[in-house]
């Protein structure tokens, strides 16, 4: 008796669909505590940006998992149409349930392991974007003093607190390097200008 059948792709797909649906729901439905944070004067802009960024990362994983789930289901269906005969029996049902649980757990563990990295990458992109700017204006990759300060502000709103000298204006370079792994030219803090750099 074979342990794995091509039609088990249906179950694998179902597990990915469930994980995707859970993450999309998590990304779209924010908690009351998050809503309360959005309505405070001091944290309005940064808190809102970080919460929306977290929602975007969750929804991104959800969409990827849904796509993979549908692809697995389609592959199982096409395998069955191609002549693959499904096996049946009591053990097959247990095996299918085990595949479902393992797929769901692994998909959620992968999301949990990668969500912070995805959030950091998105916050870097948000900090580099000019509010209200056109797409061509937002393609400029250089850092300005304002963008570097905005990245630290977003990082702190996300819960990564500045330490020691990182709280000073010149400490933004150290903070962004430690938290985001971003190398911002120190010369932005050596002169009074805030021009774009390449």
Predicted TM-score (pTM) of the model is 0.72
Q: Report yes or no: 194 and 150 within 8 Å, Cβ to Cβ.
A: no
Count of structural domains, the chain: 2
58 domain residue, yes or no: yes
The residue among 128, 162, 179 that closes a domain is: 128
Please tell me the distance from the alpha carbon of residue 184 to that of residue 198, in angstroms, as a whole number. Answer: 11
pLDDT one digit per residue (tens) for the chain, 198 residues: 566 666 677 778 888 888 888 888 776 765 545 544 554 444 446 777 888 888 888 888 888 888 888 888 878 777 777 877 777 777 888 888 898 899 999 999 999 999 999 999 988 888 887 655 555 555 556 788 888 888 998 899 999 999 988 888 778 889 999 999 998 887 776 644 444 443
89 domain residue, yes or no: yes
What six digits make up the tokens of 27?
């990304």
Do residues 108 and 86 share a domain? Answer: yes
Domain range for 164:
141-189
The residue among 95, 128, 161 that closes a domain is: 128
């Amino acid at each position: 008796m074979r342990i794995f059948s091509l039609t088990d792709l249906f179950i694998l797909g179902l597990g990915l669909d469930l994980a995707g649906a859970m993450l999309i729901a998590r990304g779209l439905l924010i908690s009351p505590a998050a809503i309360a944070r959005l309505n405070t004067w001091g944290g309005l802009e940064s808190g809102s940006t970080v919460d929306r960024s977290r929602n975007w990362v969750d929804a991104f994983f959800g969409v990827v998992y849904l796509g993979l789930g549908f692809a697995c289901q389609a592959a199982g269906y096409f395998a069955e149409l191609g002549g693959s005969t499904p096996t049946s029996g009591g053990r097959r049902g247990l095996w299918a349930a085990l595949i479902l649980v393992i797929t769901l757990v692994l998909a959620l563990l992968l999301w949990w392991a990668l969500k912070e990295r995805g959030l950091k990458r998105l916050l870097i992109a948000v900090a580099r974007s000019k509010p209200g700017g056109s797409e061509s204006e937002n393609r400029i990759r250089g850092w300005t003093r304002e963008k570097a300060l905005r990245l630290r502000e977003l990082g702190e709103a996300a819960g990564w607190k500045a330490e020691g000298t990182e709280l000073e204006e010149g400490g933004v370079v150290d903070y962004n390097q430690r938290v985001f792994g971003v190398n911002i030219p120190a010369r932005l803090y050596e002169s009074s200008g805030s021009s774009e750099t390449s």
